[in-house]
Structure formats: C-alpha cells, structure tokens
A and B are shown apart, each in its own frame.
Chain A
C-alpha cells in the first residue's frame, strides 16, 4: 500500500491521538462553572494558547470550528454580512478563481441569495493571483468590497499565493482579507500577524489532528456575523459546545506540524522532487501542473495527456496506490478541475490530471511503488480513453 493522498487527509500523529484519548476520558463541558467544567475549560484555553503561539496570533483570535469548511463559510459569509449591514454599498465579494469549494461555493451562494457582486480574481498559468491586477481591482472597487478571500496554498496543484502582498493591498483599502490556509499550515511558514490577514482558516486533519476540528483565526476588530446561533461560545461568533478532546488533539497536531515544519518539509520536498523527476522520466509527456517552484513541498500534480484521471485512479487503486484526481465530484462524476481550467488548461488536460501528495509518514518505498504501477496504468488509461474519441 502506498498512500499518496495526504492533502485529502493525513494520519493522526501518535501524540495527537494520545492527547485525544486522554482528554476524552475526562468529564466536563467547558462552559460549565463547576470543577469538571473548569477542567475542560482549562484544556480548551491551553489549546487555544498553543495554537495562537505557533501561528503568530493572539489567543483571543482563535475561534474553534468544526473544521475548515465551517471556518471558510464563517469568514466569507460572516464578514460579508457584517460589513454589508454596516454599509449597504459593501456588496462585493472577491475570491480567487482557484479557491477550494468551501470558499467558492460559499461566495457563489452569497451571489445567488444575498445579492453579493462576486468577482473571481483570475490566476496565471501557474495558478497564481497577480498582485498588480488585484491592486487594480481594489483601487477601482475598494469601497464596495465587503471581503476578499484568497487561499494561502492551492489544494490541487499546490501553488502558494503571495498572501502577504495581497493582504497588504487589501488592508491599504481597509478591506478584510481572509485566507484559507488549510493546506499551508505545517507546509510553509504561516504567521497570522505577519501576514496582515484579517482572518485565516486551518483544520486539524491535514496536519495530523482529528477530522472535524479546525479554527478561524479572526482579528479582534474584524466584524463577523455568526453562522451558528446558540450558547454564544467562541466570542459569540460560533456557538456550540466545544469538543474538548478534539480541540486538545488539534492543538497538539498544529503545534507539532509548525515546530517540526522545516525538518519535515526538507525531507518531504526531497521525496517529492524524486517523485516528479521519476514520473517525468517514465512518462515523458506528463505535464507538471502548478508553480514549479512556489508550491507546497508535498504536492506533485500532473496531467497525463490522453488519460482520464478517474481511469488512472481506478487502475492505481487496484494496485494499492492511493492518490486523487484532486478535483471535486458532482453526483460521483468527476468534473474537470476548476483550478486547472482557471489556469488556462483545456478540458482534456483538466480531466487527465492526478495529484500525489506526500506527508509525514511518506517514504521512498511509496514513491517506488508508484513508479512500478504508473507506467502500465497510463498506458491502459490511454487505451481506455481512446473509445471516447470520435471514430
């Protein structure tokens, strides 16, 4: 078995799992006032401080959520609602064209149901937003923009965005800048204060923590209307009883991922470079998608001309190689990746792509196993693709 889909989810770190189990044995709702509640509250607040400390945030800026999708929705919708309510002219929402669907679909929903004017900022062939173009947009429409959302790094092709530059441009016009850093934390240096972002999304299960726990780092002065109403936990911005063991395990994983980042990424990037080089040698017409340099250390994303990504996936799966087409499914049917289309790829190239993503437990043996299976799979997938071409 070779697991090359760490960008989808990565195994829990033993320390995070141990922390989860230990905390799950304890009783107490962190909102309760008695000793049991205070014990749970202490675990939550210590976790908040640990997360804040390694990400350049203040503890009060950490809003725990039920994962990345919720944090993205809270940022996009919550900041839009709050800013538009304060000033009805602020109806424009800006997002990059290559956002994860958690942002993209939230933004499009605002357009359909809340009267937002949605601007999808284009990207270049590497998947990168051009700061000069963005500056122009902000110059022209700054006083209408309610919120901007540009991911720190792309989940499909791994391209890292010039977040600090973009955030500074937005801040210059007084526009809150949100960044989805789900794929970035633990992979590249992420410093909330240093980035200039108003809000930042992260999630546990991409860094060795549990699924279902994440956070929105939200500046104290950033207005945000809640999505979830209830008990008023988490700064009145996010209600719901806090998942104490989840939060503890999340903090453990985030702390480990960030503090061990340099060592981890040096190792993973070397493995990834080996993978890329060998894939190119074995399949000379394979196209490496994304920024060749400014990309996540664990990401390798290729188009294999003449193949369908889902046929390749099936063939590799059958040989115990786990990877992803990286793009979303609609009704279980693979759609051409909106990310690759935004990068200027044609439909065929967008459908012929496959993502290999490495993580903390990846080894050379995983890459070896891939290279044993891949050339035959590509050959077969090409034959299988031929039936679709007009005869």
Chain B
C-alpha cells in the first residue's frame, strides 16, 4: 500500500472478496528524509501515514516492511548501471520484478500468505492470462509483463476491470481520504524529477562527442552519454545545424567510446528488434502479434520468435525511439483485453536490409 488511491481500493476489494488481507507499506529509502517530500510520491512518511490510515478505514492490519536495501541493490543501482551502459531502464518494471513480486512475495509466502495484491491497472482473471486494463491510458500490463508464470500465480490485481475514475469514485464512497490524491508520475527515488542531475551525481561528468550518424562528423560535445535516450531531440545543444535544416535525434549511445550518435528522424526507424531474457507465456515460440516497445508507447504489428534466451521481433511497420534496456511486450489482441504473450529486454533495434 503505497499511500495512493489504487492500492487502497485494491486492498479493500481483496478484503471484500473474502481474503484475509494484511496491508504492507514498503519503506524503500535508506534515509526517508532524502526522498520526496511532496504528496505525489510513494515513499515519504506522509505516504506511509496515508497508507496506514487507509488500512484503518478498510479495517485490516498494517505493517511497514523495510525493503530499502533490496530496492537500492535491485532497482536504484540497476537504474544507474543501465544508463552507464548506454541503455534506458524502466525502474517501475524492475521494482515489480525484483521487489514486489520477489522480495515481498517470497517473504509473504514464507509468513503464510498466499498472494500479493497490488493496485496495478491490469487484468488477471481465472484463466491466468495477464491482460490490459479496461482503462487503456492507465494500463500497466507493460510493467507487469516481466512476471513469470509462478509470480502471476501468486498475484491479484483487483482493479483491471475499472477505470481510474471508477477507482477514485469508489475510494470516496468507501471514505478513503486518498480518493483525491494526485497520481504519482515521476521516478520515486529521484526527488526533484531531475533524472540527468541524479545520474550525474552518481556517475560524475564524462564529456564526450556527439557525432553525425551518416557522416561521422563531430557536431558537439556532451557531459555524459548517460544523459541521453534513444529518440531524444531536445537538449542536444548542437551548434552546427543539419545540412537539411531538419531536427536531429539521438540514434544510439556507445558507452565504450562515450559517443552519442544523432541523425534525422527517419534513421531512428527500426523494424527488427532483438531482446534477451524472455518471459514467454504463449504456447508457440513463433507468433504474429502486437508489440509495445516502451511504457505508454505505440503498438505495432510484428512477427515474434523466441529461441532460447533471445527474442526477435520483425515489425510490420517501422518503430522509432526503440531503446535498449526497455521492454518489448507482446500482446495478442482480444476483446476481453489484449493478452500478454510475453516480454523481453530490448538489446538492439535494426533496419532490415531490404529497407536500407
């Protein structure tokens, strides 16, 4: 129970469904004072009090579990290391994988609980299939697709059939004071929302070149390649305009040479995506489906094949802004909510020869 409206209503629904529910708030900051102090996060003392108060109203026991070390090791350090390696991590996904459905779940099961209930917006019904929420803009199946079959078997997502608006209305009806609490958007462990500043404080300044992807020409310098994300256009601070006068985008980041490569928008397009560490639920290793390549990103048709530890997706139309480190999640369209077939961590995007 983060102290937000979703987990509060999820807990209440789980209780109403007849489960014996205990509320758990995760203390994730080594030093709580260093985390966000506003009302928008999920890691402050105020959020902890909101969660406790919600548990009181629902009428369930409530405990704070100290997961600060695990969170730091598995999520914060991973976040920094991934950027340092030129990849773009998704810390919320990592937190679901390593904290909520590993550290918390393992401890809970050992203590005699059967499942972890969260307020994620995703559907997980009796058929055991993970599906998108009815509220597509709020759908969080993308950051849950990393869960294994065993983890999903111990997960309950009571909110997937409701819109966020319905959840808020229900919270108000239940007398939960968090009904109107603003959503959290930013990364919870970066208190001021300044990701680049956070990375710079961890990784230091590392000046390097920004080069043109087609000509190899040096266009400018940067203070740390980790500050860039594939597809990024703003903040390049290039002094030399492009020959065609059009905007340039980050095409790739090469940590070894500490180089950021830029080019025109069309050079961002990829139609073959390679990924590793697949979690695959579908019966067949090869399937035609839809793939999503980043959180809240567009969905494209693809032919996906999984071989051992590698997933390759051949896209039916090119996608842009495909960053290594992000997840590729495969969905099968379904009227009852698009079904998650599996996911993997993107290692590379490429342009097929035929298009070159």
Contact = CB atoms under 8 A, between A and B. Distances in A.
A314 B112 CA distance: 11
A125 interface: no
A387 B106 contact: yes
Contact of A318 (B22, B32, B52): B22
Contacts of A380: 110-112
Nearest to B49: A332
A387 B64 contact: no
A56 B110 CA distance: 53
Interface size class of B (residues with CB under 8 A): 20 to 34
Nearest to B62: A332
A287 interface: no
Contacts of A317: 61
Secondary structure class of chain B's binding surface, majority of residues: mixed
B107 interface: yes
Nearest to B35: A331
B66 interface: yes
Given A318-B22, A333-B27, A333-B64, A311 B111 contact: yes
Interface size class of A (residues with CB under 8 A): 10 to 19
A364 interface: no
Interface string A167-199: 000000000000000000000000000000000
B177 interface: no
B63 A314 contact: yes
Given A314-B61, A332-B48, A334-B66, A383 B110 contact: yes
B34 to A, nearest CB: 12
A384 B107 contact: yes
A310 B62 CA distance: 12
Interface string A277-314: 00000000000000000000000000000000011001
Nearest to B66: A333
B187 interface: no
B222 interface: no
B63 A310 contact: yes
From A310, A332, A380, A381, name the one whose CB has the most chain B CB atoms within 10 angstroms: A332
Contacts of A383: 110-111
Contact of B48 (A310, A315, A331): A331
Interface of A: 310-311, 314-315, 317-318, 329-334, 380-381, 383-387
Interface of B: 20, 22, 25, 27, 32, 45, 48, 52, 61, 63-66, 68, 103, 106-107, 110-112
20 contacts: A314-B22, A314-B61, A314-B111, A315-B111, A315-B112, A318-B22, A330-B32, A332-B27, A332-B45, A332-B48, A333-B66, A380-B111, A381-B111, A383-B110, A383-B111, A384-B107, A384-B110, A385-B110, A387-B106, A387-B107
